[in-house]
């Protein structure tokens, strides 16, 4: 447990410093959010209708982009070999890496998401729900995306491949979160969407480490 906490702190430090960390992801997110009105036109009604959904999809993309190096850097420099030679199961290591990734990148993005949505014209009353969805969804994105990152180890063109592998699997969380936000905006019952999103994130947190560990072992062999 103590070792995992150490690993978590190290991963956090690496995610924070290595390659720009949260600044880069939030920067990407801000840039996408800026392009939206430029593409759709500044009409407030139109933006208000599409803003929550766009903020949500951009969040999925931004979380995904930062995942590329999650396992690759340890795989390339041999740290994954060292980490594997330990009584700590690789499944727990994978889960800790995803949690650290979520803390370093997912949490700042969750804070940025309501800001972006409101700036694009969504009603400020939506902000708390968007924050909650972004936090829970970010967890799901981190675990599912981490699975893609582990599977892409040892491939050419890692980043693009991870996106192609992961995006179809992100269908449920994108739908659940988007559904909850949409229903709230339309004054419909919205809780089921948020609960489904949380359930999906928890299930991904439980199951994805198995796939990640198997993928890492395969790449190391």
Partner 1 sequence: MLTALANPHRFMAFSRWAAPLLGAAAAAFLAAGLWLGLAAPEDYQQGTTVRIMFVHVPAAWAAMAAYACLGGASFFALVFRHALADAAAAAAAPLGAGFTLMALVTGSLWGRPMWGAWWVWDARLTSVLVLFLLFVAYIALRSAIDDEVKAGRAAAILALVGLINLPVIKFSVDWWNSLHQGESIFRAGGPTIAAVFLIPLVLMGAGYLLAFGALWMERTRAEVWRRRSQALAARAAFR
Partner 2 sequence: MFRGFGLELAAGEAAALTGANGAGKTSLLRTVAGFIAPARGRVAFAGPAGPLDEDEARGRDVHLVGHQEGLKSARSARSELLFQAAWTGGSQASALAAAGELGLTPLLDLEVRRLSAGQRRRLALARLLASPRSLWLLDEPLAPLDARHRELFGEAMQRHLLGGGLILAAVHDPLPIPARTAPLPA
**Residues forming the site for partner 1 (CB under 8 A):** 147, 151-157, 161, 164-165, 167-169, 171-172, 175-176, 178-179, 182-183, 196, 200, 207, 211, 214-215, 218-219, 221
Residue nearer to partner 2 on the CB measure, 82 or 203: 82
Figure out which of the listed residues 44, 77, 111, 128 binds partner 2, where binding follows CB under 8 A: 77
| Candidate ranges 12-20, 49-57, 95-103, 147-155; the one touching partner 2 (CB under 8 A) | 12-20
Within the chain, what is the greatest distance between any pair of CA atoms? 59
- Of 89, 217, 71, the closest CA to residue 149 belongs to 71
User: Would you count residue 23 as binding partner 2 (CB under 8 A)?
Assistant: no
Figure out which of the listed residues 76, 125, 154, 160 binds partner 2, where binding follows CB under 8 A: 76
Closest separation between CB of residue 60 and partner 2, Å?
28
Separation CA 32–CA 58 (nearest Å): 7
Residue 73 touches which of partner 1, partner 2, none (Cβ within 5-8 Å per kind): partner 2
The DSSP secondary-structure symbol of 102 reads I
Closest separation between CB of residue 93 and partner 2, Å?
10
Closest separation between CB of residue 158 and partner 2, Å?
18
Q: How many residues bind partner 2 (CB under 8 A)?
A: 26
Per the CB < 8 A criterion, the answer to whether 110 and 134 are in contact is yes
211 token code pair: 């796939």
User: Would you count residue 86 as binding partner 2 (CB under 8 A)?
Assistant: yes
Provide long-range contacts, Cβ within 8 A and 24+ apart, for 186-191: 190/129
Residues of 175-185 as b/e, b for ≥16 C-beta within 10 angstroms?
ebbbbbbbbbb
Separation CA 53–CA 205 (nearest Å): 24
Q: How many Cα atoms are found within 13 Å in the side-chain-facing hemisphere of 54?
A: 25
Binding site for partner 2 (CB under 8 A): 3, 6-7, 10, 13-14, 17-18, 73-74, 76-88, 217, 220-221
């Amino acid at each position: 447990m103590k070792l995992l906490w150490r690993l978590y702190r190290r991963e956090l430090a690496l995610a924070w410093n290595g390659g720009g960390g949260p600044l880069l992801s939030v920067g990407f997110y801000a840039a996408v959010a800026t392009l939206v009105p430029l593409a759709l036109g500044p009409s407030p009604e139109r933006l208000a209708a599409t803003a929550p959904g766009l903020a949500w999809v951009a969040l999925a993309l931004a979380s995904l982009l930062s995942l590329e190096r999650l396992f690759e850097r340890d795989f390339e420099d041999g740290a994954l070999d060292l980490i594997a030679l330990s009584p700590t199961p690789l499944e727990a290591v994978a889960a800790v890496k995803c949690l650290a990734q979520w803390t370093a990148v997912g949490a700042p993005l969750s804070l940025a998401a309501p800001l972006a949505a409101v700036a694009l014209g969504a009603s400020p009353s939506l902000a708390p729900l968007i924050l909650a969805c972004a936090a829970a969804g970010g967890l799901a994105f981190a675990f599912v995306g981490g699975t893609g990152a582990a599977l892409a180890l040892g491939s050419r063109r890692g980043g693009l491949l991870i996106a192609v592998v992961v995006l179809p699997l992100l269908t449920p969380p994108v739908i659940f979160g988007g559904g909850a936000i949409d229903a709230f905006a339309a004054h419909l019952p919205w809780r089921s969407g948020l609960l489904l999103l949380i359930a999906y994130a928890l299930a991904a947190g439980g199951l994805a480490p198995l796939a990640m560990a198997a993928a890492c072992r395969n790449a190391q062999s």
